[in-house]
Amino acid sequence: MGLFQGKVAVVSGGSRGIGRAIVLMLAREGCSVAFNYVHNTAKAEALVSEVQGLGVECVASQVDVCDFDAVKKWIDESKARLGGLDIVVNNAGVIRDKNLLMMPPEDWHTVINTNLNGMFHVSRASIFHLLKQRRGHIVNISSISGSIGLVGQTNYSASKGGMNAFTKALAKECAPYGVRVNAVAPGFIETDMLEGIDEASREAVLKGIPLGRIGKADDVAGVVRFLLSEESAYILGQIIQVDGGLAIR
């Protein structure tokens, strides 16, 4: 019997990378999953087949997290189709790295709209249901960039710093209703997001990681599982770093 047998989860940005690893982790634990994506229909459909092969219900929807009406419809339909909602994972995110001096306003707005406003949209569309049933979880996928700040990422750091503050405030709002809110802040994780990094920068990054390796998407998914489980029942409003020690303070 899986850890989340009979539960229902929604995961934003589930088609690739960390989101995909979280969808598979949930499915292996018996949880039905609805996830969204924006571009990669082929990857989304392949993941749905893989999850269904595990004997678990899975639905993928092409929904932009930046569009609140579309997100609301997606959450309502997922809830109806899968028979409830217990777990919300805000994972969809993008980078548009540039020093501020060279940053066009559209790169600022794209990152804030996707990472920060997207999280608000998905959480806002789900929260009434979670509070009303007096149980459930929200886990936000943040970044160490949100707490330490990284060069070239003023937009991304601001979005993730906002996500961290949102996590703490919402955790306090929801705790009296039995709903726990926490976040995971990955360091460097091997996904498409790191594709643009050249070999020299990768070497420099590796030098700063005490554990001496880039993380795997499953390193993040494992901590999400812990935060959703009863083993973390007394953890609330925390931003758990999963970074091989990169941002130890």
Neighbours of 64 (CB within 10 A): 18
> Can you tell me the distance from the alpha carbon of 59 to that of 140, in angstroms, rounded to the nearest whole number?
20
Choose between 12 and 182: whose C-beta lies nearer to ligand NDP: 12
> Can you tell me the distance from the alpha carbon of 236 to that of 212, in angstroms, rounded to the nearest whole number?
30
CB of 66 to ligand NDP, least distance (A): 5
For residue 235, CA distances in Å to 21, 40, 172, 180, 231 come to: 23, 35, 12, 8, 9
Choose between 68 and 177: whose C-beta lies nearer to ligand NDP: 68
177 in active site: no
CB of 215 to ligand NDP, least distance (A): 7
Choose between 32 and 91: whose C-beta lies nearer to ligand NDP: 91
For residue 198, CA distances in Å to 32, 79, 195 come to: 38, 42, 8
Q: Interface residues with ligand NDP (CB under 6 A)?
A: 12-19, 36-40, 43, 64-66, 91-94, 114, 118, 141, 143, 186, 188-189, 191-194
CB of 176 to ligand NDP, least distance (A): 28
CB of 237 to ligand NDP, least distance (A): 19
Helices (DSSP H) in 33-153: which residue ranges?
A: 41-53, 68-82, 105-111, 118-133, 145-148
Q: Which listed residue (37, 156, 177, 234) is catalytic?
A: 156
Read off the tokens for 11: 């995961």
CB of 44 to ligand NDP, least distance (A): 7
Query: How many Å from the N-terminal Cα to the C-terminal Cα in the chain?
Result: 39
State residue 181 phi and psi, 5-degree precision. Answer: -125, 125
Cβ-based neighbours of 35, under 8 Å, separated by 6 or more = 10, 11, 12, 13, 14, 15, 19, 23, 44, 47, 58, 59, 60, 61
Choose between 93 and 136: whose C-beta lies nearer to ligand NDP: 93
Choose between 166 and 188: whose C-beta lies nearer to ligand NDP: 188
Give catalytic residue positions: 156
